[in-house]
Structure 1
Amino acid sequence: MECDIPIFIGEMLEGTILPAPTFDPVMDAQVLGGALQGMDCDKDVLINILTQRCNAQRLMIAEAYRNMYGRDLLLDLKETLSGHFKEVMVGLMYPPASYDAHELWHAMKGAGTEENCLIDILASRSNGEIFQMKEAYLMQYDSDLLQDIDSETSGHFRDTLMNLAQGTRQEGYADPVMAAQDAMVIWEACQQKTGEHKNMLQMILCNKSYQQLWMVFQEFQNISGQDIVDAINQCYDGYFQELLVAIVLCVRDKASYFAYRLYNAIHELGFHNKTVIRILVARSEIDLLNIRQRYKERYGKSLFHDIKHFSSGHYESALLAICAGDAEDY
């Protein structure tokens, strides 16, 4: 992937879901209650409300729903809906940290570990997001995230995930002299590939600030004559390699990273629904508009077009509403 100017030096983050300008949580709760009653759930109503309110507003609706009906809206959605449409609607009802915790739990506690989910979340979240995620994980599942990562993964992949999950990355610090030293350490790690060198490599990528790593990557290019992503791909393999690359790409431009992940999930994995849903829901209020732009720039077709081509029914309608594409995007 190409190297873009990193977000931390000035790009505006833009989501596709914004707070509804006119908002009445009691009215929305009443409409949702009606839509969820009876034999046939009115899925169009669910889409029209839940994809057109920001997460804070959806939580206010849930509170009004509980006061009105004495039931939990999230549980009613889980019990009434099914399939991938259910996953989208339910995902929208979690606060961001709780949604990350939900995804991590199911990635590790299902039938086999879904490593790419762990990579997507832990490689891209800030210290604050990781702290909130760990708190939510403990509250929701009475389990420690670090302990679960330790027991469900292995090797240097596990060590790197554990390091990221500490949430102790430096912030706002950059030292050109140290950047040159770190670049040399990474270059040696790519040459030697011993356990000790792998540990040093992941320590740099997991703990140095984004500003620092931006300089490290430039210094690495100067030292080796090679892009660091190409070097990692040549020197390592497996999920350890995928995680290291994900960290580098998130440092450079998270929107481009998620555009790349969406494209792979749609085109190379036969529409990997869990990945598409997770990214659209999690990034909808952060940078999904940026992701859409990167997607079209890099792959020629819009994200709206590809979702419409590979999905159907109310599931398709829900994804497209979150994506918020225009008619010309198709």
Structure 2
Amino acid sequence: MDYRGSVKPFVHFNAKQDADILRKAMKGIGTDEDMVLKILTTRSNEQRQAIKAAYKKAHGKDLVKDLKSELGGKLEELIVALMSPPRVYDTDLLHNSLKGAGTDDKILIEILASRTPEQLKEIIKIYKKEHGSKLEKDIMGDTSGHYQRMFVILLQAEREQGVDESRVEKDAKELFAAGEKKKGGTDEEKFVNILGNRSIEHLMEVFEAYKKIAGCDIEESIRGEFTGNLEALLLAVVKCVRSVPGYFAYSLRESMRRAGTDDESLIRIMISRSEEDMLDIRAHYKKMYGESLHRTIQDDTDGDYGKALLYLCGGDD
């Protein structure tokens, strides 16, 4: 499989050299932000970990602590997040969105709907190790009803395999009967079970069959039948079944095209997809919105923060 990230391992990589350049950029009066972001946004995460170790060894200091004390605002948030290994980053996001008053449902939905089964299993392991409690238990403590049930199913990371041709039509009809056709409320359980358990390939066929029966896309039915967090979660699951890069193209658009940019979401997505599928996200974005992601970021952000995001985006389509 060809590599679909926009940030690739830097070819002539030298951890010690990068560590020295970063130290020099941060020492003395004022910080050379440009140099800091140029290095850290053009190295892979693995290389950043090596720089962190080399920095400690050569200068006896913690690179992340130094970055925090030298940078500020959104640039600091972005650069510090870049220094976390990907699944540790996911785990910290989940933990922060669950602790304290109120839950950040947006983050829970985004991560649990979009990560691969292998990634989810790793997240669960790291969560237990780092935070001393079970992710499932913490999510159950913060959610309820069918919304909670859908998360629990997704956390099992055990979708069925392959397409069961004999069940495609049946699933589509059951979804239709559970929603659009049902008088007096929706059968949420049906949606949760089918969307949570069937394989991606199977669901793609179910969505086709559904459209023929209902005369509309399943997303439209979900919007009509559900509200609030459960609606948001089911829509995210459906979008990710259709295309994970398509889902993130949509989420990036949402983060920038409102009054006031949702920088938290923008930073989170650009970082977590930069070594996964940013090239595909860019292609989807261009196709869906008729302009390049690069251009939208350029119009919506500024300064070193904007520049760092553009580095993560890679080229302009």
For residues 93 and 19 of structure 1, the distance between their equivalents in structure 2, rounded to whole angstroms, comes to: 14
Contact 2:186 2:225 in 1 (8 A): no
- Can you list the C-alpha shifts for 1:159-216, whole angstroms capped at 9, x where unaligned? 2122212222234x11111222222221122144889931231122112111111111
Once the two structures are TM-superposed, the CA of residue 27 in structure 1 deviates from its matched residue by 0.8
Which amino acid is the alignment partner of residue 61 of structure 1?
A: I
- Can you list the C-alpha shifts for 1:23-81, whole angstroms capped at 9, x where unaligned? 01111111112223234222111111111111111111112122222333223323332
* Aligned ranges 1:236-251 → 2 under 5 Å: 236-251=226-241
Which amino acid is the alignment partner of residue 243 of structure 2?
A: D
Spell out structure 1 runs of 4+ moving beyond 6 A: 193-196
Alignment of 1:187 with 2:176, yes or no, is yes
Pair 110,85 (structure 1): closer, same or farther in 2 beyond 3 Å: farther
Q: Which residue of 2 aligns with 1:3?
A: none
Which amino acid is the alignment partner of residue 167 of structure 2?
A: M
Normalised by the length of structure 1, the TM-score is 0.90
Alignment of 1:124 with 2:114, yes or no, is yes
Which residue of the other structure, out of 3, 27, 34, is the alignment partner of 1:37?
A: 27
Which residue of the other structure, out of 265, 269, 276, is the alignment partner of 1:275?
A: 265
Q: Which residue of 2 aligns with 1:204?
A: 194
Q: Which residue of 2 aligns with 1:133?
A: 123
For residues 254 and 33 of structure 2, the distance between their equivalents in structure 1, rounded to whole angstroms, comes to: 29
The CA RMSD over aligned residues, in Å, is 2.0
Once the two structures are TM-superposed, the CA of residue 313 in structure 1 deviates from its matched residue by 1.2
1:53 alignment partner, SS class: coil
Normalised by the length of structure 2, the TM-score is 0.93
Q: Which residue of 2 aligns with 1:7?
A: none
Which residue of the other structure, out of 202, 206, 224, is the alignment partner of 2:214?
A: 224
Gaps of 5+ in 2: none
2:24 alignment partner, SS class: helix
Q: Which residue of 2 aligns with 1:155?
A: 145
For residues 258 and 184 of structure 2, the distance between their equivalents in structure 1, rounded to whole angstroms, comes to: 32
Q: Which residue of 2 aligns with 1:97?
A: 87
Query: Percent identity, aligned pairs only?
Result: 38
For residues 13 and 174 of structure 1, the distance between their equivalents in structure 2, rounded to whole angstroms, comes to: 27
For residues 208 and 281 of structure 2, the distance between their equivalents in structure 1, rounded to whole angstroms, comes to: 24
Which residue of the other structure, out of 172, 175, 190, is the alignment partner of 2:164?
A: 175
Q: How many residues align?
A: 316
Gaps of 5+ in 1: 1-10
Contact 1:35 1:45 in 2 (8 A): yes
Alignment of 1:84 with 2:74, yes or no, is yes
1:260 alignment partner, SS class: helix
